[in-house]
Structure 1
């Protein structure tokens, strides 16, 4: 991918004090793509998103090597507001909505950092258009507009968190565990919404604990282990890997062994 085409992460190393959280991570998100990041707890998934969004400093972390760019502009070391202004917006794990503010006030807050100027086709140009887009995706937010956000259900709060991010009219949306803690039906609704957001022209970098869901949404995926990329490739191919199936898709070792050898790709850095 040309560095000016989308998100490019190159040889990224991140430390929290003396502790290395990421080591030499490289990753691409082409325009219009959904790219998934898989990995266990502590693999560095959220750290990767924080590095891109410029929020590492809030956890006393920092980039010690490597580069991050979006559409040819350097993001490494940029302040969070500058990253948002360049069209990259994160929905953090745990939603982090303003619980004492109303739904409407949360949405207005999301529009404050929006970049001014031209937008790609199908991306709204102004706050009013962005609000219409959000309410079309999440009609329940219109019904709850005057309600305090903290009184919403967990699924509704996740909708609000995504909607607030969309108010900034991002060209790249960073989603950190958007279905965590949600009932299966609500998780499926969030997945459908991610598809629709992407279909409207917004690229997505998705960190998701539900690996099956993530791989079904993504065109390409990366697997992180102990802060390094253990594997990457087309999402459909990773879904057929024995190691990915066993570690992340809930397929037991006996079921994997029962398959026909050679049908699915093996991961060279993982032992069987």
Structure 2
């Protein structure tokens, strides 16, 4: 069986210990906070993330930039030169063009390294959804799955991925064109929390609205109860944009309802947080 590396976007969230133990590689991604450009290499330190979300609260604008095919080629080449193929988990093609760039880079590099493979997986996911797929890929590799078998196995899970999340700062949805200016202003005044999901095409859609954090958090818990099936996958991700108390309240409810669930608590990557703003809270799992 040929040796291969498992890579993921820095836009994905995964428990730091899991990534370190399994040698997960992260494709770096750039983002800005105010006038300062930064690079995320995945699994950012909590102190760095808190400064990021504090900056958003103070009014610093945040944005991200695309990865070009050339940048992907440069990144992947080091693994190929070591004789290793790559299984790469991309941010949803419905949210970004990075997966398309990765596929183009893989095609170009195949001409130079014909005996090795780069297999980009369009996860149709983000944040902890990528983390769940990577954890499954890690387990598959431990159990002896080769590159192509693992690629096929994780792709079978993608239609069952469920992302459901709340947003506290409507101004970030306004900047992204998901709500109008008037809706954002009125919603903020009325303490409205939009509830969104990633649909089957990997795109963000608004599915509900709740008034206040508690009602929104209970909606996330109800979503868990409707979708959780331990026979499919016991790992769930609760990712938050610096709202730890709300995230822990959600985790406590999950623990009480499903003691067998494996809860991964992580702070949201700045690559995704740049577009959701502070206070976002998500429930991500493999659903029924």
Asked if TM exceeds 0.5, the reply is no
Provide TM-score, normalisation by structure 1.
0.32
